[in-house]
Amino acid sequence: MNNFTFEENVEWKTIALIAVIFFFFLEFLTNLISHLYASCLLVLELKPAVLMPLLLIIIVPIIPYIIGKFQREKVNIKVIYSILILFILLRIALPLFEDISLKIIIETLGILLILILVPIFLANLRALISPTTCGIGISLGILIGIVLKSFGSSVDISLHGWTQIIGVLLAIVALYSLSGLKVSTSMSRFPKRKNDGWRALGSILGIEGIFLIVYLGIGSPAVIARWIEGNYLLITFLISLSLGMGIIITLYHLLDIGRFHILLVNLLFLLFFGISVAICDNPSLHLLQEISMYIALSLSFILVVDLVLLFKYLSQLNFTVSQASLALILSGFLLVIFILSAIFTITWDYVRPVSAPFRDKYPLILVLIALLGCVPPMLIKVKFRINFSFSKSLKMGLVFLIIIILISSVTGVILTAHHYSKGNERELVVMAYNIQQGFDMEPHWNFEEVLEVIKKIDPDIIGLSESDTCRISSGNEDIVRFLADHLGMYSYFGPKTLSGTYGIALLSKYPILNAKTYYMPSRREQTCIIEAQIKIKGEIYNVYVTHFGEGDYDRARQANFTKELVDHKERAIVMGDFNTEPSDFYYEYLTEYLKDAWYTVHPNGTDENGYPGYTCTWKNPSSKIDMILHSPDLKPTACWVPLWAHAADHLPICATFEI
């Protein structure tokens, strides 16, 4: 006998609709910010045109404000359907376009459509969706993203390759689930009382804070792993388990939730999260940082509970669509401010003077966002017992779904993890490559082409420059993990992404030993150098990867720092983007002891084809700033620049050494 009722079917549809819509919205925002950043990447400045989508995010809630001000009719469910259908169709179309300008337009439109709906939705929460259903749906949307990224080595597989079909299937689920969205006849008009507007504002800001916590970190386990140099599998497991537990706690009311419990768990989450991000630059406290973050992630179930409580509180308030719209305008403004602030921590030297104060401030920004998300639930006065009418079979179905999601997220990480290849042990092929954060010169997302370039050269050791992905500026995707997983190589990411440095990374077919990151002196861009040992045929090779900054003063100090760090070590290889020409005086600092592999193999400065070793840029090569240096005891037998490698703005430089 089928006991699955019509009401349960409607509730399932509503949960599915919210989950998919939220997941798509998060995709749109993540990709929009990444594409806006990429469009400024090559010119190293904030283009006025880039600000337009961000400005629209702030001002578009004026549309529902006007509707709420002058329209007192019933909620028009057909209009809501139409907007959601258009949003879903935009998501289906998004991967079909290659041009970044078109992608930005589609992503902006998708975000604006949802922002038009949100004030109407919040002001009529009781008429449309129960708070519990809303919180559970959003939490499932976060978990969908985690699963899809786990199978793509941090890359959302629903946006690339043949697995784009997953995005289409989710869109079909959302379209089918639209019929679950109904308007209650007892709450079908816009509320007219306006005395709860300020309370609504506080709750909406709390929801935004939770959203930002998810967007900047919790929703992307690879990002957290790079914050703390932690175990990616464990972090994925903890986040998935904790969010799943949050849903179960909400469903079954496992805690007799009271204000004390809400205060305690939120304070503990804030404490351990704050400790972890605050001590990011202190190597001696690394273990404390890692443990603190693991505890915070284990407590992240409170974000689900907070979300449901905030929605429930909103459903008990009386405020108009216009008031909700004003709150969303402020929320949009804060969203843009937080996004720009996070990006300015890594580009602060290029958007002066407005970005100058943001150096080393990313941990502070994260703490402020965590406070924004966790403080409002601690302040609201609401009847904490959550009443809902979910049936036993629906609850069991959701629990089963959570278990499937948990298993899938862990399985995805395991299946895509390194299966290490071996070096040939006859010769050592070394490659230095500035990959421009995974974008080509158009700029297009280009992880796959970077991978193909490396596969074709088949190096044993790779030094990557500008590999500082795993931030919102790069779509929260980790190109180092992506390459290491697909190449079967050991990897060391280099500087934690909580710092504002150029990204540098080391990949190797041989195990990487004693890897460290040193921050170099600078007045402009923060720069650093990796030091590691690699054992080949019983011999220890000292390998260094770096990326120097801009300005003669900084580069001279960084060249001197590198010279002192290498300090006549044997079997030393130093590579990267030095932003230094052989004619620069600080090039002499580097080559007092070290030798330039290009000139060792080509003493006259050009190869057999007359090419002088330029690596920047491939469209107009005119600078020899990417180099492979070596100690005098190493003998390079070849050094070349593959002129066909157009996956980034720079060309890679490669060298072969006898071993």
pLDDT one-digit tens code per residue, 506-553: 999 999 999 999 999 888 888 899 999 999 998 999 999 999 988 888
Place of tokens 């009386």: 318
Task: Using pLDDT thresholds of 50, 70 and 90, give the confidence band for residue 2.
Answer: very low
- Evaluate whether 334 touches 208 at the Cβ level (below 8 Å): yes
Both 535 and 394 in one domain: the answer is: no
Q: Which residue has the higher pLDDT, 360 or 211?
A: 211
Q: Structure pTM?
A: 0.93
Is the pLDDT confidence value at 247 over 80?
yes
Report the candidate in 283, 193, 219 with the shortest Cα–Cα distance to residue 477.
219
Mean pLDDT of the chain: 89
Q: Residue type for 560, please? A: N
* Torsion sign (Cα): 144, 145, 149, 150: negative
Q: Is residue 613 part of a domain?
A: yes
Q: Is residue 367 part of a domain?
A: yes
Q: Tell me the pairing of strands 504-508 and 490-492.
A: antiparallel
Both 460 and 562 in one domain: the answer is: yes
If one counts the domains in the chain, the total is 2
Task: Using pLDDT thresholds of 50, 70 and 90, give the confidence band for residue 260.
Answer: confident
Before 119, cis peptide (omega within 30)?
no
Both 488 and 398 in one domain: the answer is: no
Both 480 and 398 in one domain: the answer is: no
Is the pLDDT confidence value at 127 over 50?
yes
State the Cα angle at 505 between 500 and 506, rounded to 5°. 160
Lowest mean pLDDT among 82-86, 281-285, 399-403: 281-285
Q: Is residue 1 part of a domain?
A: no
In whole angstroms, what is the distance from residue 62 CA to residue 636 CA? 65
Report the pLDDT value the prediction gives residue 78, as an integer from 0 to 100: 81
Q: Tell me the pairing of strands 572-577 and 539-547.
A: parallel
Task: Using pLDDT thresholds of 50, 70 and 90, give the confidence band for residue 595.
Answer: very high
In whole angstroms, what is the distance from residue 28 CA to residue 150 CA? 19
Q: Which residue has the higher pLDDT, 269 or 553?
A: 269
Query: 204: Cβ–Cβ under 8 A, 6 or more apart, which residues?
Result: 122, 314, 324, 327, 328, 331
Q: Tell me the pairing of strands 512-520 and 653-658.
A: unpaired
Both 301 and 433 in one domain: the answer is: no
Is the pLDDT confidence value at 267 over 90?
yes
- Evaluate whether 309 touches 380 at the Cβ level (below 8 Å): yes
Both 129 and 46 in one domain: the answer is: yes
Is the pLDDT confidence value at 72 over 60?
no
In whole angstroms, what is the distance from residue 112 CA to residue 68 CA? 17
Q: Residue type for 631, please? A: S
Q: Is 163 exposed, middle or buried (0-12, 13-18, 19+ CB in 10 A)?
A: middle
Tokens of 343: 């990006």
Q: Is residue 560 part of a domain?
A: yes
Lowest mean pLDDT among 137-141, 369-373, 421-425: 421-425
Q: Is residue 359 part of a domain?
A: yes
Is the pLDDT confidence value at 7 over 60?
no
Report the pLDDT value the prediction gives residue 410, as an integer from 0 to 100: 95
- Evaluate whether 478 touches 340 at the Cβ level (below 8 Å): no
- Distance, C-alpha 477 to centroid of its chain: 5
C-alpha distance across the termini of the chain, in Å: 73
Both 514 and 604 in one domain: the answer is: yes
Task: Using pLDDT thresholds of 50, 70 and 90, give the confidence band for residue 336.
Answer: very high
Lowest mean pLDDT among 227-236, 303-312, 391-400: 391-400
Task: Using pLDDT thresholds of 50, 70 and 90, give the confidence band for residue 6.
Answer: very low
Q: Is residue 318 part of a domain?
A: yes
3-class DSSP state for residue 202?
Answer: helix
Report the candidate in 41, 187, 33 with the shortest Cα–Cα distance to residue 104.
33
Report the pLDDT value the prediction gives residue 186, as an integer from 0 to 100: 41
Q: Is residue 268 part of a domain?
A: yes
**In the beta sheet, which residues pair with residue 430?**
461, 655
User: Could you say which of 415, 448, 471 is where a domain stops?
Assistant: 415
Task: Using pLDDT thresholds of 50, 70 and 90, give the confidence band for residue 203.
Answer: very high
Report the pLDDT value the prediction gives residue 315, as an integer from 0 to 100: 86
Q: Residue type for 111, please? A: I
Helix (H) or strand (E) holding 162: none
Q: Is residue 621 part of a domain?
A: yes
* pLDDT tens, position by position, 31-56: 999 999 988 866 666 677 778 999 99
Range of the domain at 129: 6-415
Q: At residue 35, what are phi and psi to the nearest 5 degrees?
A: -70, -35
Both 432 and 493 in one domain: the answer is: yes
In whole angstroms, what is the distance from residue 611 CA to residue 613 CA? 6
In whole angstroms, what is the distance from residue 286 CA to residue 275 CA? 11
In whole angstroms, what is the distance from residue 515 CA to residue 444 CA? 32
Report the pLDDT value the prediction gives residue 346, as an integer from 0 to 100: 82
- Evaluate whether 368 touches 300 at the Cβ level (below 8 Å): no
In whole angstroms, what is the distance from residue 56 CA to residue 332 CA? 9
- Evaluate whether 332 touches 205 at the Cβ level (below 8 Å): no
User: Could you say which of 393, 415, 437 is where a domain stops?
Assistant: 415
Residue 16: C-alpha distances to residues 266, 388, 396, 587 (Å): 28, 17, 16, 60
Both 352 and 474 in one domain: the answer is: no
Instruction: Write the CATH number for 310.
Output: 1.20.1250
Q: Which of 68-72, 204-208, 471-475 has the highest mean pLDDT?
A: 204-208
Instruction: Write the CATH number for 571.
Output: 3.60.10.10
Report the pLDDT value the prediction gives residue 26, as an integer from 0 to 100: 97
Kindly state the average pLDDT of the residues 108-125.
Answer: 90
Report the pLDDT value the prediction gives residue 189, as an integer from 0 to 100: 42
Both 320 and 466 in one domain: the answer is: no
Q: Which of 47-56, 342-351, 517-526, 557-566 has the highest mean pLDDT?
A: 557-566
Both 373 and 436 in one domain: the answer is: no
Task: Using pLDDT thresholds of 50, 70 and 90, give the confidence band for residue 192.
Answer: very low
Helix (H) or strand (E) holding 531: strand 527-536
User: Could you say which of 365, 396, 415 is where a domain stops?
Assistant: 415
Report the pLDDT value the prediction gives residue 420, as an integer from 0 to 100: 78
Kindly state the average pLDDT of the residues 564-581.
Answer: 94
Report the candidate in 577, 526, 579, 514 with the shortest Cα–Cα distance to residue 552.
579
Residue 485: C-alpha distances to residues 417, 451, 489 (Å): 5, 10, 7
Both 239 and 259 in one domain: the answer is: yes
